[in-house]
Each structure stands twice: as C-alpha cells, then as structure tokens.
A = this chain, B = another copy of it.
Amino acid sequence: MLHLVHSIIQSPVGYKWFIWNRVIEENTVRNYVVKGNICYSKSSNELCIVENGYVVCEENKCAGVFHELPEAYEDFPLYDYSDHMIIPGLVDLHVHAPQYPFRGMAMDLELIDWLNTYTFVEEAKYANLDYAEKAYDIFVDDLKHSATTRAVVFGTIHNDATLLLMEKLEKAGIASYVGKVNMDRNSPEYLCEESAEQSAKATEQWLIASERFENVKPILTPRFTPSCTDELLERLSQLQKKYKVPVQSHLSENLGEIEWVKELCPGTKNYGDSYDRYDLFGNDCPTIMAHCVYSDEAEVEMMRKQNVFVAHCPESNANLSSGVAPVKNYLKKNMKVGLGSDIAAGSTLSIFKAMAMAVQCSKLRWRLYDQYVEPLTVEEVFYMATKGGGEFFGKVGSFEEGYEFDAVVLEDVSLRHPQELTVKERLERMIYLADDKNILAKFVNGNKILEK
C-alpha cells in the first residue's frame, strides 16, 4: 500500500505550502518516491522528461525514473508534487563564501584591481569570528533556500572562520567541499600568510580539524598562482598526496593575469603548467579550475587528459570584463565542465542565472568574436548545472540509477500564462526566470533539507 505524503498548495497565489499527513521523518528515512514532472540529463545533449512520473529514492540513491510506479516501490512513502517539476539539485562548482556581502557591487574594475580594491579588504574581515559568524549565517541560509544542493566553496586564509563556515554548511545539509585559502605572496600584508611553511602547517591543522564533518569535505585551495610561492605549492602537493584531498584554483581568467603568471613562472608551458608541475592539476588529484577563458590548445589538452574540471562562471567573466570561455568546445571534447556562481564577481548564488548567462554569453562570443564556436543550448547548460558539475562529487546530478538522490521541486504557478505549455518549455522558462520563491523543496543525498 502506498503511504501518502501529500504536499498541497493551500493558496495558489500565496505559494504557501503545508505538509499534510506527514509520515516521513526528515533526515532519517531514505526510501521514498517523488512524483511530478521529472526532468534530468543523461548527457549534454540528452534531456529526459517524464511527465507525471515517479523518481524513486532507495537507501539515498536513485533507483530510477518511471512512468508507472513499479510494484516493488508501492510500499515506499510518496511525496506527491502533482504538476510541479522535479529536477536534480544544482551544483555550484565555484563560489567564494566570504565575498557574499558585496555581491552586486563594485563591478567597475578588472580582476587584479578588483581583488586589491574590494575583495582582499572584505576577506581580511574574517580574521574576526564575530564578523564571520554574521556573514556566513547569511551566506549559508541563502544557499539553503536556493536550488543548489552541492557547492565547492572558497573560504579565506583563516582556519577558524573556514571551520565555522563548514560547520554551518554541515548543519544546513548542503553537501560541499570547502577550502581554507592559501596566499603567501603578492597579497596585501593584512591578508598574506607569514610563510609557505606557516601556510602549509595551518592547512594541515585545518585538514585534521575538518575530519569531524560528514557531508562537508576539505579541498586544497591555493588562491591562484600569483598569490602562491613555488614552495607553498610544493608543500600543498605533499599535503594533497598525504591526505588525498582534491584541489581547486583559478586558471586563465584574465589577459593581464595570464601575462603576470608568465613572468612569475619562467619555464612553464602555460598557466596550467604552474599547477601541474606540483601535481596539482588533475590525474590522481581531483581538480577544479575556475574560468579557463583563455586556455590555449596545450592547456586545454592537458585538462582533458588529466580530467580537470572546468568551472564555467559566465556572469563573473562578464562583470570583470574577462571575456567568455569557449565552453562548447570543452563539451565537444567530452571534458568535465560545470557551472559556478563565482560570488561576488558573480552577483547571485542562482545557478539558474548561471545557466541563462552561459547561453547568452556564448551567443555574444559567437556573434562578436568567433563564429567557429557555436552558442550553447538549453540542454547543454542544464547538463552542466546538474550532471556535469555533479560528477566532481561522484554519481551526482542525475536521476539515473545509482545516482545519489539530490532533487529540487520547482513551482512555476507564479509565472502565469494564457496558453498551454509543455514541461520542456516550462523548464526553459525556469532557467531564465526562476528565483528562490520557485524552490518548493530540496533533497540532498536522500535527506530533505527544505520544504516550503
């Protein structure tokens, strides 16, 4: 028999939801069925839509998507979201938590000046735990109410503030990687670590302290080559091998930055090589590189071969006048590509907005710059926002069998329309127009962490 767990709209205008007949205790039961219009990607050009379908969560994992519910699952409790859309949780592969306070501001400079004028000044404040407490409360609460279920996050150089951030993300139920940032050169005195040795030592202490978290994992985070000495990268490489942690950094974002790296690292083949020579660029070291706007052929080939993930951050790349990454090419080469909000060079945590901007910027790149790289499609950006970025977490970001169960329930009643719409059209509309008010419920790794 089916145990009904109806979620009903009390008022179609007020978006107020009440759970009725609740038989599922949150964060414990891992077997259930979710009913609605199921949308998910199998590949970058294969978007699957099952109208009025069922997606089954069995022991935290997807057991499949069905038009008719198989007998085997009839005893599972049911979340019935009727005509609403159910999509995999969105993945933010690149977000700077401490920069959230100045989102949507300070958009008048390019990368290096922007860092020195606004960003470093803000990040320095996180030496003060009271400030970090206030700021990270806001960040984590907003992230919780967004469609993002997984995030890969930059903290600051401060161990305590970074651990506080991890604690808050753990409590909110958002599966994430978080990095204590390393910077020991070319940084203002108030935000520069004492030495490579001290930076590495603090990093090891932080790695050990991070072991207490269950769903939030540490990721090594050399800020970018200009702010890390060779000795620091060498020491981080040793830590990477010892603790088997992944790595995140920035790559080929801005033309001035790339020239600077050339000067700083004589003998390297390209910017990517400045990480690769310390084994911090894929292969046995799972790696995310944000941006990759100007990666040359050799750098791209190295990323492809070594399974380096590209975090494409289109809004950031527009706001800082960086350019537009040729993402279509990366997808064609079957490279690992996801999307990043890149707060606060990006103004919003919304990965829907990142999807829309990815399409829009790819069109402008095609029109203004290079007609050999075609614009991105809705299917491609939806894939990047879910399965593409999700792969960094393992089998995450799809409803295919065996995937960890991350899901978001979307209501679009507020976007009124006089005509009939297909589910595909409704999904496309969400990419351009969805906002936190459209997020009705969110499941991460089988746990429901949000229900409005």
- Could you list which residues of chain A lie within 8 angstroms of chain B, going by C-beta atoms? 101-108, 122, 125, 131, 134-135, 138, 142, 315, 318-319, 321-324, 347-348, 356, 359-361, 363-369, 375, 377-378, 415-419, 421, 425, 428-433, 435, 437
Contacts and interface: CB of A to CB of B under 8 A. Distances in A.
Contact of A321 (B104, B366, B417, B437): B366
Contacts of A122: 419
16 contacts: A101-B419, A104-B432, A105-B421, A105-B428, A105-B432, A107-B428, A125-B419, A131-B418, A135-B419, A138-B416, A318-B360, A319-B360, A321-B367, A322-B367, A323-B368, A361-B364
B321 A433 contact: no
A119 to B, nearest CB: 13
A251 to B, nearest CB: 18
A359 B437 CA distance: 26
Contacts of A433: 103-104, 347-348
B131 A347 contact: no
Of all A-B residue pairs in the complex, the 9 with the closest CB atoms, nearest first, are A104-B432, A134-B418, A104-B429, A347-B432, A318-B360, A135-B418, A368-B369, A321-B363, A368-B368
B107 A359 contact: yes
A315 B138 contact: no
Contact of A318 (B102, B364, B421): B364
Nearest to A356: B347
A106 B378 CA distance: 10
A389 B375 CA distance: 31
A370 to B, nearest CB: 8
A378 B107 contact: yes
Contacts of A319: 360, 363
A362 to B, nearest CB: 9
B104 A428 contact: yes
Contacts of A425: 102, 105
Contacts of A365: 364, 368
Nearest to A424: B105
Contacts of A101: 417-419
Nearest to A318: B360
Given A347-B356, A356-B347, A363 B418 contact: no
A369 B369 contact: yes
Given A361-B364, A366-B321, A108 B378 contact: yes
A108 B321 CA distance: 25
A124 to B, nearest CB: 12
A138 B418 contact: yes
- The CB with the most chain B CB atoms within 10 A, among A103, A364, A377, is that of A364
A104 B431 contact: yes
A419 B103 CA distance: 12
Given A104-B433, A105-B428, A367-B321, A417 B347 contact: no
Given A101-B418, A417-B101, A419-B101, A323 B364 contact: yes
A241 to B, nearest CB: 37
A111 to B, nearest CB: 12
A324 B363 contact: no
A429 B323 contact: no
A157 to B, nearest CB: 18
A104 B352 CA distance: 12
A348 B432 contact: yes
A429 to B, nearest CB: 4
Contacts of A323: 364, 367-368
A292 B135 CA distance: 43
